[in-house]
């Protein structure tokens, strides 16, 4: 039976639309937008992706093409600015330091660069006006949505405002993040709080974390009913066509003992712990391979140098930064196990993907991994340098039986339904 709604749901995708990025949050945003048409038909409900441009909201049908060169230029400009700012902060008074690190200035600079590098032709006829009883879901990089006067206007007009929370790692584990991100998020939670009707998190663990943070730092009387969670979907395919996977890639996985990590290389992902483990395995004449897939992130120069100068590099140790979906699926299907050693996560999508492809998972025993993986995976202790070593050496790896997870359509449906419940 179709449920019909008279009001509309708007999905604020501003950062993904403007930035040209396609990782992390941006991938989530795009996958959700891909599934709204089918839900519109099922619910009889208009679900409209929008972008904030020049103090108004504009609807759009598709995301612009990603310009990789401009992305690289943006990263270069950002890094140059950060180094210049760090130099100035050492020689200028504290008042100047506060200005240099203020969210308003840095968000302005970031969005200005986005407009210059990723400018799009937008038809003003696509302008939308949100009305009373409509729902606005802030589903993108929320800390960059700092137009609080606009949120106040929408709130006064009777628009329900819901924020998706991916994690609070920049606050709870700031040692693993750039200082800007920590400052931005703290500022956003404090200033946006009075306009937000509900927070929908991507896991129960994140829901508990954000509730505790707001209760302790913003509103000690906050009602838990203002918080909910949904699980991200995953894009699965059983397509066995490997014709486009080059032989050189296949050869990496021709061993019966090849272990895989799928995540951006950054401090909180803890690749160092895994590499230390494999060094110990190789020193004990245990013939195993370790393959790292995904891009190189921040603050890992020494680790990347260690990998690329390693005597096993491109022999039994591999770093693959340009892996498309077909190659990734091949890696999932032809490895011995996924190794996921994060100190902290908001979700951990590679765990879900691995289990779907029947690839066993070895993961650090943190709460979110246990929430997602339950008893389907093998856990190791990050405080014990021998924990992962013992699992691999003794092949004490839990095999995957039956694992079921929702796709992006089901995930999007859950999000929309829960956003209407506040």
Dihedral, CA of residue 398, residue 361, residue 309 and residue 267, to nearest 10: -130
Instruction: For residues 275-279, give the mean pLDDT.
Output: 98
pLDDT tier at 5, thresholds 50, 70, 90: low
Which alpha helices (DSSP H) does 196-343 contain, by range? 204-217, 247-252, 271-283, 301-308, 325-333
pLDDT of residue 180 exceeding 80, the answer is yes
Q: Across the chain, what does the average pLDDT equal? A: 89
Question: What is the pLDDT, as a whole number, of residue 159?
Answer: 96
pLDDT of 86 reads 78
Least trusted range by pLDDT, from 11-20, 31-40, 385-394: 11-20
CA atoms within a 13 Å half-sphere pointing along the CA-CB vector of 301? 1
Give 2's pLDDT tier (boundaries 50, 70, 90): low
- The answer to whether 134 touches 10, Cβ cutoff 8 Å, is yes
Q: Which of 79-93, 112-126, 360-374 has the lowest mean pLDDT?
A: 112-126
Please give the pLDDT value at position 1. Answer: 46
Query: Mind listing the pLDDT tens digit for each residue in 209-267?
Result: 999 999 999 999 999 999 999 999 988 776 667 778 999 999 999 988 999 999 989 99
Alpha carbons 312 and 279: distance in angstroms, whole number? 9
For residues 141, 142, 146, 147, the Cα torsion angle rounded to the nearest 10 degrees is 100
Summarize the confidence of residues 61-75 as an average pLDDT.
Answer: 76
Mean pLDDT of 50-73: 81
For position 90, what pLDDT does the model report? 79
Closest CA to 269 of 308, 231, 304: 304
Q: Which residue has the higher pLDDT, 19 or 68?
A: 19
- The band of 138, judged by pLDDT with boundaries at 50, 70 and 90, is very high
Q: Per-residue pLDDT tens for 291-326?
A: 999 888 878 999 999 999 999 999 999 999 888 888
The whole-number average pLDDT for the span 383-393 is 96
For 124-133, what is the mean pLDDT? 88
Contacts of residue 55, Cβ cutoff 8 Å, sequence gap at least 6:
147, 150
Rounded to an integer, the average pLDDT of 193-211 is: 96
Q: Provide the percentage of residues in the chain whose pLDDT is more than 90.
A: 65
Q: In which band, very low, low, confident or very high, does the pLDDT at 89 lie, cut at 50, 70 and 90?
A: confident
List the domains of the chain with CATH numbers: 8-64+120-233+410-419 (3.40.50), 247-393 (3.40.50.2000)
> 176-184 — which CB contacts under 8 Å span 24+ positions?
176/266, 176/267, 176/268, 176/343, 176/344, 177/268, 178/82, 178/298, 179/101, 180/101, 180/103, 180/106, 181/143, 183/101, 183/102, 183/103, 184/103, 184/106, 184/107, 184/143, 184/144
Tell me which residue of 234, 237, 268, 238 sits closest to 353, measured CA to CA. Answer: 234
């Amino acid at each position: 039976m179709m449920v019909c709604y008279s009001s509309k749901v708007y999905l604020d995708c501003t950062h993904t639309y403007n930035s040209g990025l396609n990782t992390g949050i941006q991938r989530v945003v795009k996958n959700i937008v891909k599934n709204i048409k089918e839900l519109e038909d099922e619910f009889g409900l208009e679900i409209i992706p929008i972008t904030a441009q020049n103090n108004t909201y504009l609807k759009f049908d598709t995301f612009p093409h990603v310009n990789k060169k401009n992305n690289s230029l943006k990263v270069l400009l950002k890094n140059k600015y950060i180094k210049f700012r760090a130099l100035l902060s050492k020689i200028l008074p504290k008042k100047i330091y506060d200005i240099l690190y203020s969210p308003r200035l840095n968000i302005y600079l970031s969005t200005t660069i986005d407009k210059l590098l990723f400018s799009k032709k937008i038809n003003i006829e696509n302008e939308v006006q949100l009305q009373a009883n409509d729902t606005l879901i802030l589903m993108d990089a929320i800390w960059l949505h700092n137009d609080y006067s606009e949120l106040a206007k929408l709130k006064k007009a009777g628009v329900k405002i819901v924020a998706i929370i991916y994690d609070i790692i920049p606050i709870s584990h700031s040692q693993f993040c750039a200082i800007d991100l920590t400052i931005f998020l703290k500022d956003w939670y404090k200033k946006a709080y009075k306009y937000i009707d509900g927070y929908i998190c991507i896991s129960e663990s994140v829901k508990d974390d954000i509730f505790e943070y707001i209760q302790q730092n913003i509103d000690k009387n906050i009602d838990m009913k203002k918080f909910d969670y949904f699980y991200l979907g995953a894009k699965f395919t059983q397509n066995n066509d490997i014709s486009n996977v080059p032989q050189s890639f296949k050869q990496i996985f021709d061993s019966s003992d090849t272990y895989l990590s799928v995540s951006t290389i950054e401090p909180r992902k803890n690749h160092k712990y895994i590499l230390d483990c494999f060094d110990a395995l190789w020193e004990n004449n245990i013939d195993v391979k370790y393959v790292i897939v995904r891009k190189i992130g921040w603050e890992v120069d020494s680790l990347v140098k260690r990998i690329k100068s390693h005597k096993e590099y491109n022999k039994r140790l591999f770093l693959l930064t340009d892996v498309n979906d077909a190659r990734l699926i091949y890696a999932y299907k032809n490895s011995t196990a996924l190794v996921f050693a994060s100190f902290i996560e908001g979700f951990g999508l590679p765990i879900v993907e691995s289990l779907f492809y029947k690839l066993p998972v070895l993961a650090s025993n943190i709460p979110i991994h246990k929430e997602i993986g339950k008893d389907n995976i093998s856990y190791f202790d990050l405080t014990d340098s021998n924990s992962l070593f013992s699992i691999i050496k003794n092949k004490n790896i839990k095999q995957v039986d039956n694992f079921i997870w929702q796709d992006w359509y089901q995930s999007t449906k859950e999000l929309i339904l829960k956003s209407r419940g506040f």
